[in-house]
């Protein structure tokens, strides 16, 4: 059996009221909450993937400003290991109300509202990324090198 890691991107976007851009989506037949996130497509630059996923899942144009870190998670449901490259991004403008088919809606949620959804967070990384962001974790985007 060939092991194939899954490269994903996610963005933590905070508004001026301290709320975070989140998506309510269907995954594995359940409703879950996540940051705007998804797979990097073939030949797609990582930052472009972060911008694209946010736009497709929330309708918001965002601009990554910092790299928060590389997070790994092995999903118990399927045994797949996901490598999540997470970014802090700034919301620029709402561009569309059309969202990916598995997205129910986009929300702006406070930290407490995210915590209250604990059992329905897509993975433990959702809250971990926000907490790392709030603790001041920031790396310059040039730590990502693509050749």
pLDDT band at residue 1, thresholds of 50, 70 and 90? low
Q: What is the fold, at CATH topology level, of the domain defined by 17-110?
A: Nucleoside Triphosphate Pyrophosphohydrolase (3.90.79)
DSSP 8-state class, residue 10: E
Structure tokens at 30: 């359940």
Range name among 14-23, 69-78, 126-135 with the lowest pLDDT average: 69-78
- Has residue 5 got a pLDDT over 80? no
pLDDT digits (tens, 9 = 90+) for 58-110: 999 999 999 999 999 998 888 889 999 999 999 999 999 989 989 999 999 99
pLDDT number for residue 147: 85
**Of 52, 17, 24, the residue nearest 38 (C-alpha):** 52
DSSP 8-state class, residue 40: P
Mean pLDDT for the chain? 95
Structure tokens at 92: 């620029």
pLDDT number for residue 10: 98
Output the pTM of the full model. 0.94
Residues 24/31, Cβ–Cβ less than 8 Å:
yes
pLDDT band at residue 124, thresholds of 50, 70 and 90? very high
Structure tokens at 143: 């730590």
- Has residue 35 got a pLDDT over 70? yes
Determine what percent of the chain is predicted with pLDDT higher than 90: 86
Q: Which residues contact 122 (CB under 8 A, 6 or more apart)?
A: 25, 27, 32, 33, 34, 37
pLDDT number for residue 143: 96
| In the chain, domain spans | 17-110
């Amino acid at each position: 059996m060939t092991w194939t890691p899954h490269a994903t991107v996610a963005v933590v976007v905070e508004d001026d009221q301290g709320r975070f851009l989140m998506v309510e989506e269907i995954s594995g037949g359940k409703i879950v909450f996540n940051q705007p996130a998804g797979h990097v497509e073939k030949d797609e630059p990582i930052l472009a993937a972060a911008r694209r996923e946010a736009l497709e899942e929330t309708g918001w144009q965002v601009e990554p400003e910092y790299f928060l870190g590389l997070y790994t998670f092995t999903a118990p449901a399927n045994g797949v290991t996901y490598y999540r490259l997470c970014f802090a991004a700034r919301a620029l403008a709402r561009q569309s109300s059309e969202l990916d088919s598995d997205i129910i809606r986009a929300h702006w949620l406070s930290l407490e509202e995210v915590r209250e959804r604990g059992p329905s967070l897509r993975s433990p990384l959702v809250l971990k990324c926000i907490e790392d962001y709030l603790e001041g974790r920031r790396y310059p985007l040039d730590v990502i090198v693509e050749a």
